[in-house]
Structure 1
């Protein structure tokens, strides 16, 4: 993706912008942030598998009719022409 010359330019720019003393601290901070993000994503993924699709939380995201709107019968079309209730 990057060649050696592009990487060298990026390193030089980073040193000029942040300073040589600040770069290790920034790298450590970025590494910690990425580790935390990765572990949280893994936890959410495993939590989603443990709950399954038939859990009450899955019903929380189902489509329901708006207040005052009658539920559509299976196969009935909405005014836009798309089938409803399937």
Structure 2
């Protein structure tokens, strides 16, 4: 009960394909990749995000 074999992995991939469809999977993988990259950057102490001001500018 400890490891996944090839049949289990193929079954899981088939279920994911049925649930999300072929067009949605690349978007999901892109989002997952971004999340992993941000997590690794945060672990290394790097910050490449741009800061945006939440203050509203006075209307003239």
TM-score by length of 1: 0.48
Is residue 16 from structure 1 mapped to residue 18 from structure 2 by the alignment?
A: yes
How does 1:26-37 map onto structure 2 within 5 Å?
Answer: 26-37=28-39
Compute the displacement of 1:2 (Å).
Answer: 1.5
Structure exhibiting the larger radius of gyration computed from Cα positions: 1
TM-score, normalized by length of structure 2?
0.66
Task: State the Cα RMSD in Å.
Answer: 1.4
Q: Partner residue of 2:53?
A: none
Residue 28 of structure 1: CA displacement?
1.0
- Matched with 1:53 is none
Which protein has the bigger helix share?
A: 2
How many residue pairs get matched? Answer: 44
**Aligned runs of 1:45-56 on 2, under 5 Å?**
none
The corresponding residue for 2:6 is 4
Unaligned runs of 5+ in 1: 45-86
